Structures are given as C-alpha cells and as structure tokens.
Structure 1
Amino acid sequence: MKTYNTIIGGKQIIPTNTFEVKNPATEDLIGYAPISTKLEVAEAVEAAKKAQPAWAAMADEERKGYIMKIAEVLTDNTEELATWITKEQGKPLGGPGSMFEMQACVGWTQVPASLDLPVEVVFEDDTRRDELHRKPIGVVGAIAPWNWPLMIAIWQIIPALRVGNTVVLKPSEYTTIGTLEMVRMINEVLPAGVLNTVSGTGEIGAELVANKDVGKIMFTGSNSTGEKIIKGSAGNMTRLTLELGGNDAAIVMEDVNPEAIAEGLFWGAFLNMGQTCACAKRLYVHESKYEAVISVLSDLAEKMPMGNGMDEGVVLGPIQNKMQYDKVVDLVEDAKANNARIVCGGKAKEGKGFFYPITIIADVEDGTRIVDEEQFGPVLPIIKYSNIEDAIKSANRLEAGLGASVWSANVEEAKKVASRIEAGTIWVNQHGAVHPMVPFGGVKSSGYGVEFGVDGLKSVTQSQVISVNKA
C-alpha cells in the first residue's frame, strides 16, 4: 500500500512516521499518510518565507497566469482527484458529489485570477493625495477540514497566492491523501516554496499556528478548534479568518407550496450528508404547513439511493468518520428518549461503513440537544411554530450565526424576515448557495472574517497608505 508525501520547498518529503487512511464506505485501507515532525513544520514555514518576496514581486499579470495554470492542472486531473475525494471522504462521484467538488475547485481558482485590487485614492485635495495600497501579509497557514477537503483547501490557497502570499497547508487527518495529491500536482506549475504541505493530527496544526513567521491563519472547522487557534496565535498577533460551526436555521412561512420547495429544502439540509457548515440544521415550519413539509421531505428521503460513492446511481454516501457517526447516533437516540417522532430513518444500517439513513425528526422543541447542538450529519429536526416572531426569536437564540434561510411565496416579506436574522448569509428560497464572487463568513460564534470575491482577497492582504504632500 502506497505512502504519500508532503511537499516542502518544491521537494517531496518522505515521512518517517505514517498513519492509515481508510475508505469510510468500506473501512478498507487506501493508503498511508505522513505524520510531519515539528522540524518539518518549521522547514515548511521557512521555505514559504524564503519564496514569498520573489512571488510578491512578480508582475500582477504573471501571478494571474500562474493561478490560471493551477486551474488547468485541476481541470486536467479532475477525474483522478474526484476519485480520491470519494474514496477518502465518502461523497459519491456524481450528482452533488466529488465531480461537483472538483468543478468548484476550478471555479474558485479562476475567479480570484480574474479579480484585481487596484490602488484606491481615499482622499485628495490641493495639498495632499492619499492612496490605499493592498500588500501581501507574507506566509499564510491554511488548515483545511474533512467535509469538502479539496474545495475548501482551494478556498484558502488561491486567494492567498493571488495577492502575493505563500502558503503552508495542513489537510485534515481524516482526508489527507487527496489534498496532498492535489498540492503535488499544483506544485508542478508553481515556483518552489510558494505552496507547501504538512500533515498529521491537531498537534501539527498547533505548531503551524504558533509559528511566529506565519502572518495569517485560515481555518474552517469546529468551534472548539477555532478557540484553540485564537489562543495559540495570540502571542504572535496573527491575523485570522475562522469559518466555524453553523447550526443554520431555516424558516418556512405559512404561504409556501411544500411541493415547490421540497427539493431545495432537502438538498439545503442534506448536501454532503449534512456534513456542511452551512447546511440547514434546524427547520422551523408554520403549523399550517408542518405535516405537509414533513411528508414531502420524508418522501424524498426514502427515494434517495445511499451507498458506496464509487457505485453508479448513488447520491448519498457515508458519514466520513467514526467520531462524527457516533455523535449523530447519540443525538438521535437522545431525541428518541425525549419522545421525538422519528418520521424516517433513525436506525443505523448494518454492515461495514459509516452509513446512517436520512433521518427526519418531528415534534421536537428548542432546548433539546438535537435542535441546539450542530449534528453535522444526515439528521434534520423540524420544529412547529405559530407566529413568525417566535420563529425569528428561535432562529436567533443560539450563538451560531453562519447561515440561515427563509422560504416564502412572497419574496419581499421573506426579505423582511431575513433582515432580522443574526447570520452572515441569509438565503431566500434557497439554502447554502455560495458563489466565488459573493463574500461568505459568519457572525457570533460562527467565526470572523470573510472569504470569496474582492472582500475575500482583501482579507489576505494588509493595507498600506501612501500619503503625498503636494505642496
């Protein structure tokens, strides 16, 4: 079985220690991933630091050209990398799965390559001219998650490189190989040291965070790890972009046609088996449409084929890892113990793989674990409300504030409700629809900073004002 390597300074680093990587659908061993040493983390940061001045000094159009070469590499290797995503993360190849993730990788590479951060004249009169310039920060440490391992790595890597930073990337220990392979391929078209990798558990991530030569950390993942990153980086005054947990609320208003919104609601909740920070994770439905919405969602759930993502026709895969699987099971069992109604699913599948059926839970209330804790899996609690004010209050009662959605036949009324929800993005008649031109980030405990678009590029720069005396 093959052992995979990290890349430091353009060279593959053969590991002294490794860990097993298994397919979550079959539990079969698929390869060995490296465990970086503390010295290798330091060497990766040093390689990035050494390469950064020349990378930043390049003409902007030349750096754009390199980014477009990366897009070509991703396009040319889409099938191979998508296969790694399916084998390692579990999502199916087709549908909203691994090929979809790779298409997103390409798009989120091409768009930053098309964007500019021109010099802004922020003030000018007869006596002075003040210009705001955007400068790279230096070395960016990127820590990627396991749910969209390649796509979110690209979200971190590409904007940082685009504006002249260099990067050290640590993939999740649950989905390491595909990400390392992607970076190996990208390195074939980049100058040495511009993009480096380290690998291993959270200890390796902590080493990266604590390194005084890392000017910014970009992290997507859990609140608990986000808090550790804040503490670990504090002594270095490191800039942070943190995209943390969601527990997104979705509000279905009384004027909806349940059949018309069923598919949008379903995939808003169960895209990637619900293992998406911005999935709908608690659904508030007006009492007049409560049973109808439950019915259309459960009908869809029963029709969706689940299995090994490498098999044709599968649209739903396993939960990615045992830790998350156990959490999902525990939350459902707790809901059962508290007299919730299990509309469909609710019982683990037998056999190998971390498969858990799409589970819809009714007759639950705020304050129960299945509502208040982010399940991050294929389970959706549906809560009944009678007054829209109560639904808004419920949506805002938790500290999570990544995304939310409002569903209504009256868009203007939905927008009024949306404006009162405390979240970074509130979608109307859709959920989780991110776009590479549209800033995305959370409020409250869902993190801070934004990604995507011009604002995302600005977030990986530091401002410099040049003030000229005209007299």
Structure 2
Amino acid sequence: MAVINGVNGHAAKLDFTTFYNVINNELSTTARTRHSINPANRQPNPEVPVSTQEDLDKAVDCAREAFKKWSKTSVEERRAAITAFSRAVDDHKDDFAKLLTMEQGKPLAQSYHEIGMATEWLQKIPTMKIPEDILEDTEDRQIIQRYVPLGVACAIVPWNYPILLAVGKIAPAVYTGNAIIVKPSPYTPYCDLKLGELATRFFPPGVVQVLSGDHDLGPMMTSHPGIDKVSFTGSSETGKKVMASCAGTLKRVTLELGGNDPAIICDDVDIDAILPKVHAMCFYCSAQICMMIKRLYVHEKIYDQFREAFVKYTQNLKSGDGNQSDVFFGPVQNAEQFERVKNLFTTIPAEGLKPALGGKIEDSEGYFVTPTVIDNPPEKSRVVTEEPFGPIVPLLKWSDEDDVVARANDSKMGLGSSVWSKDIERANRIAKRLESGSVWVNSHFDVAPCVPFGGHKWSGMGMEWGVTGLKAYCNQQILWLKK
C-alpha cells in the first residue's frame, strides 16, 4: 500500500480523475489495480485499487481505534458532521453526476436524482431520535432499555445506486456512534471512493473508510473477526453467501435483496393519468432497481387499451448514452448482467411468448437492451418468475381479486408491491393482502429516509432507514439501576 496524502483542505474541490482507497483519512493505492467499463461504450474507466487482506486488516484496526472515541461523542457532534458532509456532497453534485453516468450508465437526469436523494438521506437521518425507554421506575430501581453502538460496520454496496445506497448505510452507522468501512461494487467503485475522500474532511480518521477491490474483498469482510455488522444490498443468492459467511463470527446482518414486485391495475383507473407513473416504475434506471415493477397485472376489461397506451408511451422514449439530452433508457450496467438479460430474451421464442414491443436485442457499442413488453405470458414463464434487472416487463390479465392476489403473492420474493385504483377502499383492501415489505396504493417505489425499508421472504432480512434502521446498528442494552 502506497500512501498518497492525508486530509484535503475543506474548501478545495475534489479531483474526480484519480481514485484511491481511503484508510484512516489517508488516500492510498495498491500494487495491483483494475478498472471497470463504461457500459455505454465499453471503454475502460480509470484505474482503482485492488485491496488486499493487509489493506483490510489495517482499515479494521483503524476503525476499531476510531470507534473508541467516536462512540463517546454526542449526538449533536455526529449530526453536525453528517450535515456538513451532506452540504459538501451537494456542492460536488455536478462532478458526482457526470462520474455516476460514466460508471453506472444511467442518464444524467437520473444521476442528479440519485444525488439529490443521497443528500436528503444525509440531512434527514440525523434528525431522528435514538430511543431510550424507561421500562420501570419505582422507589428502589429504574429499568432502562437503550441502544448502544455495535462497533465496526461494513457496507457492501451494489452497482445500481452506488451513491444513495452508500450514504444510506454511512449515515445511520456513524450517527449511532459506529465506524464504517464501505466496499463499493467492482463495477461502480468511483463515486463511492470520492464519497470516502470527501468524508475525510468531516469525520475523524478511521470513522468512514472506503476500500476498492475485486470480488474477493466481500468475503474477506464478511468473515473478518474485527467487523461487527454487515449491511448488504444485492442479489438473493449472494445474500445467502453473505449470511453464511457472517455466521462464523456471529456478525449482525442486514440483507436488502432482490425483488419481483407485482403491480395490480384495477379496471376503474384513469389510464392516461397513471400511465407515466406506472411506466417509470417499470423502466426507471433501465429497470435495474430491486423495487421496480416486474409483473404488471392489468384487469381484463382495460387490458387491451392499457397495453396499447403502454407500448406507445415506451416507443416515445429515447435510448442512448446517458450524457445525451432527453435519454430515458441507458445501458444495462455490466457485461455479466447484459448476458443474463440476453439469456432471458432467448426464452421469448423458446417459450412461444408474444412481444407487444421489442423482443430482440440489437447490436450496439454498449450494453443496450431494447425495451420490451411481453403480452400476457404464462404465469410460469421465466419473464414472470425471474427478476430480469433489465428493461423487459410482462403484462398479465386478471379478472378475479382473490386470484390476482394469489398470483401476486406466488413468489419467493417479497420486496414491494402496489395496487392502482380510484376506489381507495378497494385498493387498501387488496394492499393489505399482499406479501411484501412495502405496499403502495396508487404509487410504487416511494421511499423516505425516516421510513423503514426491507423485504419479506427471499427479499431480505431486517430493515434499513427510519428508527428501525438506526436500531440495526446498535446493541440493545437493559440497565437495572438502583436508587
């Protein structure tokens, strides 16, 4: 490990062309480096470190040392540091947006939206109160339930929302008095490394650290005896491996995993009014969000009309490099995911499915997938049962409420779901029967920093954000105090 320099001056702008690990508020590189690929043109992005076990051990040691002091700071001190960090992220939003589009592929407008959400999370999370409850108060004793920080947390961040999902773990971890080590996805390390560099201006050494690496770094972290808690966002299959690895040292674990979200469209909706919202929640970020609508159940009375309007709306949206104006569909983020989506597309002819739009992936210089709508496929077809993480959505007919609820719940996943109807009583009735961590009426993918978020079934364990999310970075402690 070669150290580059220590903390930068608060007023200086970050250099967004070079990328280093952040260990103990020092920037460092490694003997071996790697780079990711710009998904819009398949060109190499800049070099980043490939962290070793030695790098991780040093970061953990520094984090454990930092925790001793940081855990004793006041809530007000922590809140002030996080709020100042938020302002700095906002000050650099133009650079972050360009960098995010380069590494992730999402259109520039969507990059700005993610950064706006990230600053909101940083501002709002430290406004919540960490609870302390008096369970008994008598003449001779008082029993108090309180929450104390765990120690060193590890954030394993995915490639679809690298900025928001990094700060969504950093803020609650440090606000509750922990130190945290962030591991970005190897596909999107750049913004998170810059977040770590920016954090050196506001947090003591060792409190917020970021390590870039390849696919070996995650297992090193989940098995490391010096890490007390892992917050992982990613696929269900990888989540199982994370949980198994953490079991060896009995780490606390929060898992936010995949989804196969259903949306139930009732026959009384105003199609023109809901269409832009429903469409965006099917295809935003090229459908590479765990909480996107993945199965669209449309009542048979309006099915044909809805399908035609949905297809027409999709055709009017532009695909291309995210830096171009008015682009809505960017590329799929990486070659591995691109191959998964291509494999799913092979099932269209193999299973005799009927595309209402698209259905084939054209050659391009990037990982672009033709937006595709499948017309009423069988319930057991792969486009219905699998999470595509690409711009392909099945439209399915329904007529009976009990039947559509059963079909919507017939999945190993249970992240989110929604119901769309003018009849709010009817919509609320259906919503309460759906098996998912979040259920929306006449919306989808509404999230807020002060509202807990997590999944049922294979979509995860535990919740992030809200007071529930703060508690996930704490141990409960019961004080039996004598008077």
Whether TM exceeds 0.5 here: the answer is: yes
Does residue 278 of structure 2 align to residue 265 of structure 1? Answer: yes
| Matched ranges for 1:213-292 at <5 A | 213-292=226-305
**Alignment partners' CA distance in 2, 1:335 and 1:126:** 73
1:5 corresponds to which of 12, 16, 20: 20
Matches within 5 A, 1:183-194: 183-194=196-207
Letter in 1 for 2:127: S
Pair 1:180-2:193 in alignment: yes
Look up the match of 2:59. Answer: 44
Is the Cα–Cα contact under 8 Å of residues 39 and 367 in structure 2 kept in the other structure? yes
Partner of 2:315 in structure 1? 302
Partner SS, residue 336 of structure 1: helix
Which secondary structure state, in structure 2, belongs to the residue aligned with residue 103 of structure 1? helix
**Structure 1 stretch 249-258 or stretch 136-145: which is displaced more?**
249-258
Give the superposition deviation at 1:468: 2.1
Q: Which among 311, 315, 319 is matched to residue 324 of structure 2?
A: 311
Which residue of the other structure, out of 11, 23, 47, is the alignment partner of 1:32? 47
Correspondence for 1:336: 349
Report if aligned partners of 1:242, 1:447 keep a CA contact under 8 Å in 2. Answer: yes
Structure 1 alignment gaps of length 5 or more: none
- Superposition pairs of residues 340-419 of structure 1, within 5 angstroms: 340-419=353-432
Identical positions, percent: 35
For residues 383-408 of structure 1, the C-alpha deviation after alignment (integer angstroms, 9 at most, x for no partner) is 11221111110111111000011111
Q: Which moved further from structure 2: 103-112 or 187-196?
A: 187-196
Deviations 1:19-64 (A, max 9, x none): 1222100111220121100111111111111100101111211111
Alignment partner, residue 106 of structure 2: 91
Q: What residue is the counterpart of 1:109 in the other structure?
A: 122
Structure 1 residues 426-446: Cα deviation after superposition (integer angstroms, max 9, x where no partner): 111111111111111001110
The answer to whether the 8 A contact 2:147-2:476 is kept is yes
- CA-CA distance at 1:192 after TM superposition: 0.7
SS of residue in 2 equivalent to 1:226: helix
SS at match of 2:367: coil
Whether the 8 Å CA contact 2:348–2:359 is kept in 1: the answer is: no
Q: Is the 8 A contact 2:37 2:334 kept in 1?
A: no
2: distance between equivalents of 1:233 and 1:292?
Answer: 50
Q: 2:351 & 2:315 partners in 1: Cα distance?
A: 24
CA distance in 2, matches of 1:355, 1:17: 31
What is the TM-score of this pair, normalised by structure 2?
0.95
Q: Deviations over 1:79-110 (max 9, x none)?
A: 1011111000000111xx10001001100100
Displacement of 1:3 in angstroms is: 5.3
CA distance in 2, matches of 1:2, 1:112: 30
> For 1:358 and 1:321, how far apart are their aligned partners in 2?
17
Maintained 8 Å contact 1:3/1:34? no
Offset at residue 287 of structure 1 (A): 1.0
| Aligned residue identity for 1:7 | V
Cα deviation, residue 329, structure 1: 1.9
Return the offset for 1:257: 2.1
What SS is found at the alignment partner of 1:57?
coil
Q: Please state how far the C-alpha of 1:136 moved relative to its aligned partner.
A: 0.5
Q: What letter matches 1:439 in structure 2?
A: P
Deviation at 1:127, TM superposition (A): 4.1
- For 1:126 and 1:397, the matched residues in 2 are separated by 55
Q: Distance in 2 between matches of 1:361 and 1:420?
A: 26
Tell me if the contact between 1:319 and 1:377 (Cα under 8 Å) persists in the aligned partners: yes
Size of the aligned set, in residue pairs, is 468
The CA distance in 2 between the partners of 1:270 and 1:187, in whole Å, is 36
Q: Would the aligned equivalents of 1:335 and 1:369 in 2 still touch at CA under 8 Å?
A: no
1:348-375 alpha-carbon deviations (Å, 9 max, x no partner): 2322001112111112021111110110
State how far apart, in whole Å, the 2-side matches of 1:118 and 1:232 are: 31
Q: Which residue of 2 aligns with 1:21?
A: 36
Q: Which residue of 1 aligns with 2:170?
A: 157
SS in 2 for 1:433: coil
Structure 2 residue runs of 5 or longer lacking an equivalent are 1-15
Corresponding residue SS for 1:202: coil
Distance 2:52 2:126 in 1: 34
- Measure how far apart 1:122 and its partner are: 2.1
Shift of 1:121: 1.0
Matched, 1:433 2:446: yes
Question: Whole-Å Cα distance in 1 between the matches of residues 103 and 285 of structure 2?
Answer: 13
Which amino acid counterpart does residue 81 of structure 1 have in structure 2? F
When structure 1 is superposed on structure 2, of 111-120 and 55-64 the one drifting more is 111-120
Is the contact between residue 336 and residue 342 of structure 1 (CA under 8 Å) also seen in structure 2? no
Structure 1 pair 412–40 and aligned structure 2 pair: CA distance change class (3 A): same
Question: Aligned partners of 2:365, 2:62: CA distance in 1, in Å?
Answer: 42
Deviations 1:126-151 (A, max 9, x none): 44321111110000011000000111
CA distance in 2, matches of 1:190, 1:163: 14
3-state SS, counterpart of residue 27 of structure 2 = strand
2-side partners of 1:2 and 1:179: how far apart?
13
Is 1:455 matched up with 2:477? no
User: Which of 318, 337, 340 matches 1:324?
Assistant: 337
Amino acid at match of 2:122: T
Matched, 1:144 2:136: no
Q: CA deviation at 1:463?
A: 1.1
The code of the aligned residue for 1:455 comes to T
Does the residue aligned with 2:359 lie in a helix, a strand or coil? coil
